[in-house]
């Protein structure tokens, strides 16, 4: 398992840096002012929380320039973003058991971003009996899916609140369809970076199928990676009904379909984090 730290990136006057030591509050400068665009190099590591990932991008993420900076001469890794220093805006997507929840927690803590998850937001709005919450509740009480237009409005209004505007935000697991992404774009909501966590399906299935719940304490165990401390605990562990191999593969299929639909909107700012044999983030072009 990897070390308990997260992906590092910082927005500066010229670009978003991906580097082992930069922070958003650092007063950084463009190390190569003659170039407006930086390429992702092939051999730098940044530790993450739950496993090892490699970042992949087929795109350089800024305005064109006449001459490319050779990969061998690129000392750091950059993802170009706004020419104006602004609060960082991040979207992150990952399959069930990909470690997304842990990464979201670490990223928001490290960079002071507002963590926004559509599912949590929906529950909060319904509990608060807001206008959108009341509309959503009508569908939920009938066992129907809440329409995109309602959820998008909730997300938009949350992203435009003062704390999100001041601190920046991390939008977790949303949008999930091309129509949701298009709606956010229509509202002028666009991230600086879209992080996609990629883990081989066999690993994801193993993680989910091996999970067990202690109904007495609420603690989650894993038969292989975090086994129970005693036979007594092991004897009372239960498995969630949807943690079977068949059900998790169905969830993964749905996730992959959703991701493919969204990536076309954010292809120029997508950074893929793929699992490696190393204990850290590998940034590669």
Question: For position 231, which CATH number holds?
Answer: 3.40.50.300
Total domains in the fold of the chain: 1
* Per-residue pLDDT tens over the stretch 13-43: 323 444 333 333 333 333 443 333 323 322 2
Instruction: Name the CA dihedral angle for 7, 12, 17, 22, rounded to a multiple of 10 degrees.
Output: -60
DSSP string, 62-125: S---SSPPPGGG--SEEEE--SS----EEEEEE-TTSSHHHHHHHHHHHH-PEEEEHHHHHHHH
Structural domain span for residue 139: 89-274
69/257 Cα distance (integer angstroms): 35
> Which range has the worst mean pLDDT, 101-105, 151-155, 171-175, 277-281?
277-281
Q: Report yes or no: 189 and 156 within 8 Å, Cβ to Cβ.
A: yes
Give domain status of residue 156, yes or no.
yes
Give domain status of residue 64, yes or no.
no
User: Is the pLDDT score of 234 beyond 60?
Assistant: yes
Q: Report yes or no: 251 and 242 within 8 Å, Cβ to Cβ.
A: yes
Give domain status of residue 76, yes or no.
no
Give domain status of residue 253, yes or no.
yes
Location of structure tokens 């990909």 = 98
| Contacts (Cβ under 8 Å, ≥6 apart) of 98 | 197, 198, 199, 204
Give domain status of residue 161, yes or no.
yes
For the chain, percent of residues with pLDDT exceeding 90? 42
For the chain, percent of residues with pLDDT exceeding 70? 66
Give domain status of residue 215, yes or no.
yes
When computed from its CA atoms, the radius of gyration of the chain, rounded to whole angstroms, is 20
* pLDDT tier for residue 141 given thresholds of 50, 70 and 90: confident
Catalytic residue positions, numbered: 100, 176, 211, 240, 251
- pTM as predicted: 0.67
* Per-residue pLDDT tens over the stretch 273-285: 875 433 344 333 3
Q: Chain-wide mean pLDDT for the chain?
A: 74
- CA 51 to chain centroid, in Å, comes to 15
Give domain status of residue 233, yes or no.
yes
275/281 Cα distance (integer angstroms): 9
* Per-residue pLDDT tens over the stretch 255-270: 898 898 899 999 999 9
In the chain, which ranges are continuous DSSP H helix? 100-111, 118-128, 131-141, 148-159, 162-167, 178-186, 201-209, 231-236, 245-266
204 against 42, higher pLDDT: 204
Give domain status of residue 268, yes or no.
yes
246/26 Cα distance (integer angstroms): 47
128, with CB counted inside 10 A (0-12, 13-18, 19+), is exposed
* pLDDT tier for residue 47 given thresholds of 50, 70 and 90: very low
Q: Report yes or no: 85 and 13 within 8 Å, Cβ to Cβ.
A: yes
* Per-residue pLDDT tens over the stretch 207-225: 999 999 999 999 999 999 9
Helix (H) or strand (E) holding 51: none
pLDDT at residue number 33: 39
Note if the bond before 24 is cis, omega within 30 degrees.
no
């Amino acid at each position: 398992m990897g070390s308990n730290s997260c992906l590092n990136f910082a927005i500066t006057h010229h670009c978003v840096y991906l580097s082992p030591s930069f922070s958003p509050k650092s007063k950084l400068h463009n190390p190569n002012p003659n170039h407006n665009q930086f390429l992702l190099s092939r051999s730098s590591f940044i530790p993450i929380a739950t496993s090892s990932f490699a970042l992949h991008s087929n795109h350089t993420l800024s305005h064109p320039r006449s001459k490319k900076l050779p990969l061998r001469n690129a000392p750091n890794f950059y993802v170009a973003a706004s020419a104006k220093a602004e609060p960082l805006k991040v979207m992150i997507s990952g399959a069930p058991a990909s470690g997304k929840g842990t990464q979201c927690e670490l990223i928001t803590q490290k960079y002071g971003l507002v963590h926004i998850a559509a599912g949590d937001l929906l529950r909060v709005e319904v509990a608060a009996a807001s206008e959108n919450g009341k509309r959503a509740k009508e569908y939920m009480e009938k066992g129907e899916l809440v329409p995109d237009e309602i959820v998008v409005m909730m997300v938009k209004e949350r992203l435009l609140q003062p704390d999100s505007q001041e601190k920046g935000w991390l939008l977790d697991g949303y949008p999930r369809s091309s129509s949701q992404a298009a709606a956010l774009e229509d509202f002028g909501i666009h991230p600086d970076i879209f992080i996609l966590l990629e883990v081989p399906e066999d690993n994801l299935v193993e993680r989910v199928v091996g999970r067990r719940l202690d109904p007495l304490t609420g603690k989650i165990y894993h038969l292989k990676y975090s086994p129970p401390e005693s036979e007594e605990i092991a004897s009372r562990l239960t498995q969630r009904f949807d943690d079977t191999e068949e059900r998790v593969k169905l969830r993964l299929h749905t996730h992959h379909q959703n991701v493919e639909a969204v990536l076309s909107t954010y292809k120029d700012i997508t950074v893929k984090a793929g699992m490696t044999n190393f204990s850290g983030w590998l940034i590669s072009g």
